[in-house]
Amino acid sequence: MAQLAKKQGDDKIARPLNVLVPLIQADLKHGSAAAEEAGLPYYRAAGEKMLEAKPQIPHGNFRNWIERNFPIRYKHARRYMQLAEETTEKSLARDFSSLGDFLRQSGNEPSYNRPVSWQKPVKQIVSRVDTETLNLKKEELKRADERDAQRKLALQLIDIGYKVLARELQARLERMEQQRFLKAEQFEKARALAECLDLDVA
């Protein structure tokens, strides 16, 4: 939830942090895209909003808040806030005659494309998790394909086995039928022979 805005010293109501963060980010983006001298108003505007946000952040957490939400170092944020605290254009012209002078005083120019310190490890973890998940999915698909192939092979073997078994049974039945026919034929011959010999065959 967004924190409630606190009153500043001069009876202004401060905007909540969730409103200030995108505004400061936009000012910083515009400042880096503008020409050297034209960038100063954007950095001053970002500094003003940072000064507005600072009383809302718990003591000792402002630096972390800056580094977590913006692609700049804390020392640049301090310079932007100093720039915002200046009261007259004359003092600005005297202290910072150009954006280049301003940035040279703050050390080196901020790198807006520099990833925040936590982004690289998070990207590595996400990449590793994505790779592991993909590998697990591939293994599951491979196992499912293997199970399907085994199931089809088993059905084919069962089908072949039934056909072979059916042929063997058919052959046995035919043999048994022939044997029965032969036995019946032999019995008839024996009976006929016995009748010829006048034997009593029951």
Q: Tens-digit pLDDT profile for the chain (202 aa)?
A: 344 444 445 567 888 888 888 888 888 877 766 545 566 778 888 888 999 899 999 999 999 999 999 988 898 889 888 888 874 344 555 555 555 666 666 555 555 555 556 677 777 777 777 777 788 888 888 888 888 888 888 888 888 888 888 888 888 888 888 888 877 888 888 778 777 777 655 5
What DSSP element (H or E) covers 24? Answer: helix 17-33
Q: Measuring CA to CA, which residue among 43, 161, 57, 52 is closest to residue 112?
A: 43
- Provide the token pair at 109: 């120019």
Decide if 67 contacts 75 (C-beta within 8 A). Answer: no
The CA angle 103-109-111, to the nearest 5 degrees, is 150
DSSP alpha helix (H) spans, 56-118: 62-69, 74-85, 89-95, 99-105
- C-alpha span between 140 and 132 (Å, rounded): 12
